[in-house]
């Protein structure tokens, strides 16, 4: 499985629709300061369900919607879609390609979609359990994140290794079962 493309519109500094295409292997996003590199990483975290505004470097969730410039009016929504090549079927769905889309409107209404079908954030989270892809996965390493991992608490490092080893979903299912029976 690999990230095939990211399509962004109205998200932070990306007013116009733009599509980034990728190939198998490791991808680095480089560019001068202020060119939007961190916003690309934020877009991926956001489409995968990030709810903590601080992680997206904003004050409120509305801050992810393009707020306008001297020459451009603010937009009414933000939309991010990522397409993954799933030909190895690492994701538990019967599709060779999987597109996850998230939209947020200024009204506060939001939409989540998997391959164009409406879904819940929970469905997206469950699909990505134990893949290393997710809002906190090890597949997106932002500025300062390596230092945070190295200087983090042992429990935080353990969570990262548990996800990489593929046991997070089993721990979550166990906790849910205990909650229901307890």
Tens-place pLDDT, residues 12-64: 999 999 999 999 987 788 888 888 888 998 899 899 888 777 777 788 888 89
Helix (H, G, I), strand (E, B) or coil at 111: strand
d(CA 48, CA 134): 6
By the 10 Å C-beta count (0-12 exposed, 13-18 middle, 19+ buried), 26 is classed as exposed
- The predicted pLDDT at position 128 comes to 85
Q: Inform me whether the pLDDT recorded for 105 exceeds 60.
A: yes
Domains and CATH numbers, the chain: 2-143 (3.40.50.300)
CB 6 within 8 A of CB 20: yes
The 10 Å CB-count burial string (b at 16+, else e) for 41-72 is bbbbbbbbbbeeeeebebeebbebbbeeeeee
- The predicted pLDDT at position 30 comes to 84
d(CA 11, CA 13): 6
pTM: predicted TM-score of the whole model, two decimal places? 0.76
Q: Which two tokens stand for residue 95?
A: 């599709």
d(CA 114, CA 76): 22
- The predicted pLDDT at position 167 comes to 77
> 140 or 55, which is more confident?
55
Helix (H, G, I), strand (E, B) or coil at 81: strand
**pLDDT averaged over every residue in the chain:** 86
> 68 or 135, which is more confident?
68
CB 65 within 8 A of CB 11: yes
**Of all residues in the chain, what percent carry a pLDDT higher than 90?**
46
- The predicted pLDDT at position 118 comes to 98
d(CA 31, CA 161): 30
> 165 or 65, which is more confident?
65
> 79 or 176, which is more confident?
79
User: Where is average pLDDT lowest: 47-51, 93-97, 160-164?
Assistant: 160-164
* Sheet-wide strand order for 18-21: 18-21, 2-9, 77-85, 97-105, 110-114, 117-119
Q: Inform me whether the pLDDT recorded for 139 exceeds 60.
A: no
């Amino acid at each position: 499985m690999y990230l095939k493309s990211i399509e962004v519109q109205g998200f932070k500094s990306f007013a116009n629709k733009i599509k980034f295409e990728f190939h198998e292997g490791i991808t680095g996003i480089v560019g001068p300061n202020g060119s939007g590199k961190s916003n690309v990483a934020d877009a991926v975290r956001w489409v995968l369900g990030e709810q903590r505004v601080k992680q997206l470097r904003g004050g409120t969730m509305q801050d992810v919607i393009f707020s306008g410039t001297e020459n451009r009016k603010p937009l009414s929504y933000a939309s991010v879609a990522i397409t993954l090549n799933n030909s190895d079927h690492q994701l538990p769905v019967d599709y060779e390609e999987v597109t996850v889309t998230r939209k947020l409107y200024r009204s506060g209404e939001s939409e989540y979609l998997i391959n164009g079908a409406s879904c819940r954030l929970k469905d997206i989270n469950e699909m990505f359990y134990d893949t290393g892809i997710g809002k906190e996965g090890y597949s997106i390493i932002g500025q300062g994140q390596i230092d945070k991992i190295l200087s983090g608490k042992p429990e935080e490092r353990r969570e990262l290794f548990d996800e990489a080893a593929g046991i997070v979903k089993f721990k979550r299912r166990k906790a849910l079962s205990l909650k229901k029976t307890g």
